[in-house]
Amino acid sequence: MHTLTVKTTSQFEMIDITRQISEVLQKETIRDGICHIFVAHTTAAVTINENADPDVPKDMIAILDRIVPLQAGYRHGEGNAAAHAKASLLGASETVFIADGRLVLGTWQGIFFCEFDGPRTRKVFVTTIVAS
């Protein structure tokens, strides 16, 4: 298992971590298999989305803010209930196939770490499974 450290700089942020995950694959020298990415935080998530247009992550954050507003009479005492809900909506993990030593992603796809309660220093765990 590999651990990536992600330092976020704002309360809401989507950071493309595709390159860092690809670097993990190079260290593993894995040819074919599966890459599993897991975020062990209750106010952060991981997702796959377009990484060609920098406005897509901004739009995604805006959409999530409309679905789950920051203030809506939540009962959670820490004041970050919206962050918990957004993280649950997107999820804590992604699984990506590996072929010929590379992540199998669509032309415009990237893997994003999603911060909903920052800024913070977070951990992303990456494991690989070799295909037999």
Percent of the chain surpassing pLDDT 70: 100
Quick one: average pLDDT of 111-126? 98
Class of 2-130 in CATH: mainly beta
Q: Are 103 and 110 in contact (CB under 8 A)?
A: no
The distance from CA 94 to its chain's CA centroid, rounded to whole angstroms, is 8
CA dihedral for 48, 50, 54, 58, sign (positive or negative): negative
Task: Answer whether residue 96 shows pLDDT above 90.
Answer: yes
CA atoms within 13 A on the CB side of 113: 32
CA distance 54 to 58: 7
Summarised one tens digit per residue, pLDDT across range 7-51 is: 999 999 999 999 999 999 999 888 999 999 999 999 999 999 999
CA distance 128 to 132: 13
Most distant CA atoms of the chain, gap in Å? 51
Would you list the domain boundaries of the chain?
A: 2-130
